[in-house]
Structure 1
Amino acid sequence: MALSTLKDRVRAATTEPPAVDATVQSLAEDTAGPVPAQLHASAQAEGDDVADKALTWLEQYGEDFTKALPSHIDVKAFLSAVRAALPGLVRCTPASLRQALLTCARFGLLPDGRHAVIKREGKLAVFVPMAQGYVELMYRSGRVGSVHVGMIHENDEWNYEPTAPAPLDFTHKPRVDLSKKERGKPILAYAFCWMASGARSQVIILSREDAEEIRDEYSSAYQRAKASGANDSFWHTDFDAMWRKSPLRRLHKVVPMSAELVALLKADDAGDAGEVQIVHAPAEETYLLAEADEAHEQAEESQDPQDARVWTLPRKRSQPRRTTRKSRKGSRR
């Protein structure tokens, strides 16, 4: 019987492994527990060979990936990007690896390190959207004309005057004529959008201290890595990339979001918290879009730059809203 939603396909993928060769079959047989020890030893001994076998195994789910991916991304291009990441993921449980990859496919993002990353946490594979992934989904909404995100370095020319009218309130001239060392260290990360209507959004600016506060207060992945002594979360290994992504995430307060982008924020938060990253079926898109519209309406009521740190992400109700709207407290970041 045909599977009507991606949730059904994910469930089927994690409970009905196809028949493959002996090494890969051992990977598929235990979808709930750890990857077998013999696979770990094989991965260390064979390296890329095991990754090739794992890719062959994943190709058995090609139809699921084809259904999940948007039409502009070919499944072969997607699996090609997956191939490069597989050597570091063979220790993950098969169920979590399939789910992370299907979630990545659902959002139409390549796991290439720029748009998204599939990261191993213990024995679980986790989908992590990167800054370029957020930018890609903003463009797809059709409401955003251009997205600008950047880092201001110590010797760059810049000005921020929040009381001035846009676009005079913020300017940044990177000193591209200087070497990286001469430009100095990054001091601020920022993001803003020009809308399709010609209006410009509020500029979201975060200092390093702001980013550290976000990391310390909201990132469960950072806290887990710190407590274990592994220090391998993205906040540990690529702080600047996470710093740069943070103002993009906060743009949802001042920019109309698509249902898909709201879902991406929730999946990102769930992955950081170590929770299941829910893949929304198409039937839920209308409800998510209504949630996104409500968030934007609330944002338009206050454009005071002093409120930039106070922002909310709607939480899903137990039942879809029909005729009334109620304000709710928001998400973590």
Structure 2
Amino acid sequence: MAPSTLKDRVRAVTVEAQATKLKPVIRRAETVDGGTAEELHAAEQAEGGETTDAVLTWLERYGEHFMKALPSHVDTGAFFAAVRAILPGLAPCTPASLLQALLTCARFGLVPDGRHAIIKREGKLAVFVPMYQGYVELMYRSGRVGSVHVGLIREGDEWNYEPTAPAPLDFTHKPAVEKPRAERGAPILAYAFCWMTSGARSQVIVLSREDAELIRDEYSQAYQRARDAGRADSFWHTDFDAMWKKSALRRLHKVVPLSAELVQFSKADDAGDAGQAQVLHVPDEDAQGFAEATADHKAAEGSHEPQRVATLPRKRRQPKRAASRKSRRQNGKGLRR
């Protein structure tokens, strides 16, 4: 019997892909009956049922949109297998934000496997978060970059940095790989540079740990929210080194030609860090639903904008002007006398 739902097809296509090593194909999804997405999602959670299967069933409505969003080089079996693995941790998220985060991830051709990208829960909002490997992937995909180099320099490594020297003599790094990690010491610098397909080499970006901490404190709203709430669950808390290298890559983007895709990629990253909806890939027929979901999220968080003060009507000033004219007439009569 052929699989009839997305969850069944995900299982079948993943097994088939692992067995045959062929690119899997997912058929056009069918519409799920039985209430709205929110009602289905909430009912499964309340009943303690298989939430992952329920969400996969709901996502079947948008199977065609996923197929359109995913680039041809992405293994759809690997993508949906990764989605299935992360769904249990995203159960409290609103269906609209979860769908949007997954479609955004698919739009950039990344698998939410924790290496290139991840879908993180921010309260009830699912957020697409690209990792530094995702930035590297899109830089290669732009067609302008021949090779990307990003890494950490440790205390025991041999390195040299002379910005005024000609490339490639201005920067060298020789990791002491023969030493145990304990002897190599802690990371002291992060760096990033690339060689272009034209043969030219980009500027070398070097960031100290203090530089990374300043970027974190000034620009990462996710870190600030976690810190203010007394939590230590932002990526700056849990994987500082990866965010350190990601910051170096983002600085590198300012000195190399960027593709339109990389520009949108950075905007999606910024929106996610700010806790905003990443509305980059919305099915046309669901645009209104996504707008309402975004409005509901903002209302739940509460507005921090100052209330406008009503302007006093101008007609209240008219009696003062009339009194002023009467006073001038009286004064004029007094002068004429």
Q: Is the 8 A contact 1:150 1:191 kept in 2?
A: yes
Alignment CA distance shift 1:41-1:243 (3 Å): farther
Further displaced range: 271-280 or 256-265? 271-280
Alignment CA distance shift 1:167-1:40 (3 Å): farther
Q: Deviations over 1:227-268 (max 9, x none)?
A: 111221111111111111001011111111100000000110
Deviation of the 1:51 alpha carbon? 1.9
Q: 2:38 aligns with which of 29, 32, 35?
A: 29
Paired position in structure 2 for 1:19: 32
Q: Deviations over 1:143-168 (max 9, x none)?
A: 00000000111101111011100000
Q: 2:45 aligns with which of 21, 34, 39?
A: 39
SS at match of 2:253: helix
Paired position in structure 2 for 1:124: 125
The separation in 2 between residues aligned to 1:59 and 1:177, in whole angstroms, is: 51
TM-score by length of 1: 0.72
The separation in 2 between residues aligned to 1:97 and 1:268, in whole angstroms, is: 16
Q: Is the 8 A contact 2:222 2:234 kept in 1?
A: yes
* Match runs of 1:125-204 below 5 Å: 125-204=126-205
Flag the structure with larger Rg.
2
Further displaced range: 225-234 or 113-122? 225-234
Deviation of the 1:18 alpha carbon? 4.3
Deviation of the 1:124 alpha carbon? 0.5
Deviation of the 1:40 alpha carbon? 6.1
SS at match of 1:60: helix
Q: Is the 8 A contact 1:40 1:91 kept in 2?
A: no
Paired position in structure 2 for 1:3: none
Alignment CA distance shift 1:174-1:91 (3 Å): same
Aligned-partner residue type, residue 29 of structure 1: E
Paired position in structure 1 for 2:275: 274
The separation in 1 between residues aligned to 2:47 and 2:255, in whole angstroms, is: 50
The separation in 2 between residues aligned to 1:41 and 1:199, in whole angstroms, is: 60
Paired position in structure 1 for 2:302: none
Deviation of the 1:176 alpha carbon? 1.0
* Match runs of 1:213-232 below 5 Å: 213-232=214-233
- Report the identity percentage: 74
Paired position in structure 1 for 2:206: 205
Structure 1, unaligned runs of 5 or more: 1-16, 282-333
Paired position in structure 2 for 1:247: 248
Further displaced range: 146-155 or 178-187? 178-187
Alignment CA distance shift 1:217-1:249 (3 Å): same
Aligned-partner residue type, residue 131 of structure 1: Y
Q: Deviations over 1:248-295 (max 9, x none)?
A: 0111111111000000001100110111213169xxxxxxxxxxxxxx
Deviation of the 1:30 alpha carbon? 5.2
Alignment CA distance shift 1:133-1:40 (3 Å): farther
SS at match of 2:168: coil
Paired position in structure 1 for 2:319: none
Deviation of the 1:78 alpha carbon? 1.1
Aligned-partner residue type, residue 39 of structure 1: Q
SS at match of 1:73: coil
Deviation of the 1:38 alpha carbon? 6.3
Deviation of the 1:54 alpha carbon? 2.1
* Match runs of 1:51-130 below 5 Å: 51-130=52-131
Q: Give the root-mean-square deviation of aligned CA atoms.
A: 2.0
Q: Is the 8 A contact 1:156 1:175 kept in 2?
A: yes
Q: Is the 8 A contact 2:70 2:107 kept in 1?
A: yes
Aligned-partner residue type, residue 42 of structure 2: P
The separation in 2 between residues aligned to 1:40 and 1:179, in whole angstroms, is: 51
Deviation of the 1:60 alpha carbon? 3.3
Deviation of the 1:217 alpha carbon? 0.3
SS at match of 1:138: helix
Alignment size in residue pairs? 253
Q: Deviations over 1:37-78 (max 9, x none)?
A: 861672xxx6xx422332233233211100011111133221
Aligned-partner residue type, residue 230 of structure 2: G
Aligned-partner residue type, residue 32 of structure 2: A
Q: Is the 8 A contact 1:62 1:75 kept in 2?
A: no
Aligned-partner residue type, residue 143 of structure 2: G
Further displaced range: 59-68 or 165-174? 59-68
Paired position in structure 1 for 2:318: none
